[in-house]
Amino acid sequence: MIDVVIGAIVWSNLLVLLALGLTMTYITTGVPNFAQASFAIIGSYIALTLLRLAELHPYLSLPVTFILGGILGLLTYYLALKPLIKRKASIEMLMIATLAWDLILFGITGAYSELLSSITKKTETLFVFTYLDFEFYGLPGRLIVSSLLVLLTILGLYLLLYKTKFGIALRASMENPSLAEAMGINVENTRLFSWFLSGALACMAGSVLPFLQEIVPQTGYFIIVSIFAASIVGGLYHILGALIGGYIIGISESLFTYVLSIFLGPGVLVYSKVISLLMMIVTILIHPKGITGTELWRKVERWLNL
């Protein structure tokens, strides 16, 4: 049972990191990024590469993954989206562009996994890091590290968004880009920032993911629904939505799988996606703006004076 709880928290932490990026880029660029899960898997392979070729433990390589992930996010924006935005492409076209980019990343991941296999002479198409994990007073490293990552991200974002001039400008541009532009703020910077952070957080999440489950190039297809569910349930128009949605979806998925496995035995992980899908659909039916879009949330926010 304790393993289930730990697994639930780790998975939720990773979902929060993944959903945060999705929500931020949605707010700044207005397009749901279908390549978000592929960012994570690329993060997994970056960590694997650093482990194999530089003998760097995945936890220690997190800073490198962060930066490489950020670059990946920026490339996504520059190569797949910006040229279209400049030509005033419609939202459908932008969505297809992220799907196309997702396919490109999938192709690259698959090709790279085989290339890496031929270099290391091991099968790298399927791998885990679980055997590398440490324990600290009985708590598994993945729990500590993923929780720290979320904590640091939230703290960093809070300080940045509320205490710096750049951060205030960011919040301003997210709320009303044209007015921000009128203030002399270069709104493009907001986009660049959000894509950098989105890629960076997703890749870090991806390098912790192999401590929790097997990774194959197709893993992205397995987790994309959970990420979208987290962002939508929490609310796509509010950064904090990702935090709330991430925990709701992560914990529901894990507990549901646990209960189901008691009745049906192992191999039921896939049904956890049904829960995410249902929660997402219910949200869309009742309140498409999600939890952070409700009147109740606004009251909570006022009360917290956020």
Q: Does 99 bind another protein (CB under 8 A)?
A: yes
Contact 34, 98 (CB under 8 A): yes
| Among residues 128, 277, 293, 294, the one that binds another protein under rule CB under 8 A | 277
- Cα–Cα dist 46/87, whole Å: 33
Q: Between 148 and 284, whose beta carbon lies closer to another protein? A: 284
Q: Between 56 and 84, whose beta carbon lies closer to another protein? A: 84
Q: Which residues contact 156 (CB under 8 A, 6 or more apart)?
A: none
Contact 43, 69 (CB under 8 A): yes
Q: Does 101 bind another protein (CB under 8 A)?
A: yes
Q: Minimal distance in Å, beta carbon 93 to another protein?
A: 5
Task: Point out which span in 135-143, 146-154, 199-207, 220-228 binds another protein (CB under 8 A).
Answer: 220-228
Number of residues that bind another protein (CB under 8 A): 69
Binding to another protein, residues 132-161 (CB under 8 A): none
290: left (phi over 0), alpha (psi -120 to 50) or beta: left
Contact 38, 223 (CB under 8 A): no
Six-digit token string for 302: 């006022």
- Cα–Cα dist 221/227, whole Å: 11
| Among residues 212, 229, 230, 248, the one that binds another protein under rule CB under 8 A | 229
Question: Cα-Cα-Cα-Cα dihedral of 29, 98, 96, 249, to 10°?
Answer: -80
Q: Does 123 bind another protein (CB under 8 A)?
A: no
Q: Which residues contact 143 (CB under 8 A, 6 or more apart)?
A: 6, 9, 10
| Among residues 59, 228, 247, 297, the one that binds another protein under rule CB under 8 A | 228
Q: Does 175 bind another protein (CB under 8 A)?
A: yes
List of long-range contacts for 83-90, beta carbons under 8 Å, 24+ apart: 85/29
The H or E element that residue 205 is part of is: helix 187-208
Q: Between 135 and 214, whose beta carbon lies closer to another protein? A: 214
Binding to another protein, residues 34-73 (CB under 8 A): 34
Q: Minimal distance in Å, beta carbon 142 to another protein?
A: 24
Q: Minimal distance in Å, beta carbon 8 to another protein?
A: 20
- Cα–Cα dist 303/164, whole Å: 23
Q: Under the rule (CB under 8 A), what is the footprint of another protein?
A: 30-32, 34, 79-80, 83-84, 87, 89-93, 95-97, 99-104, 106-108, 110-115, 118, 165, 168-169, 171-172, 175-176, 178-186, 221-222, 224-225, 228-229, 232, 267, 270-271, 273-274, 276-277, 280-281, 284-285, 288, 302
